[in-house]
């Protein structure tokens, strides 16, 4: 799990944080993880990517009310600005990120 919770841009603005809640045994989680891995470089400096295994980090999953995987949350500061539960296409994920970046 990445511990980049409070990362800011050079101007002091909070960076968006995408948290992928997953399990090791879920095929859908593995597919979403591969998509996310391919987006990291494209959003460097604007989005911090974090993966959390809900079986190892049950308290974090509980804090966000996560009951199903894969779940993707996009946060600005501590506010959830977009989310997805279940399988998501690469196009849908990019749309959520781009829309959040534009609106926030």
Separation between Cα atoms, residue 93 and residue 36, nearest integer Å: 9
Give the separation between CA 35 and CA 56, rounded to whole angstroms. 22
Task: Set out the domains of the chain in order of their start, with CATH numbers.
Answer: 16-103 (3.40.30.10)
| CA 29 vs CA 7, 11, 51, 69, 71: distances in Å | 25, 34, 10, 7, 8
CB 66 within 8 A of CB 55: no
* pTM score: 0.85
- Give the pLDDT band of residue 83 (cuts 50, 70, 90): very high
Q: Render pLDDT for 22-32 as a digit per residue (tens, 0 to 9).
A: 999 999 999 99
């Amino acid at each position: 799990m990445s511990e980049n919770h409070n990362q800011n841009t050079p101007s002091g603005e909070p960076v968006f944080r995408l948290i992928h809640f997953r399990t090791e045994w879920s095929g859908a989680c593995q597919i979403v993880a591969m998509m996310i891995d391919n987006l990291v470089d494209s959003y460097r400096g604007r989005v911090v990517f974090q993966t959390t295994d809900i079986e190892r980090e049950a308290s974090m999953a509980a804090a966000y009310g996560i009951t199903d995987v894969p779940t993707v949350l996009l946060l600005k500061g501590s506010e959830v600005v977009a989310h997805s539960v279940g399988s998501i296409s690469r196009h849908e994920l990019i749309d959520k990120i781009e829309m959040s970046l534009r609106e926030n």
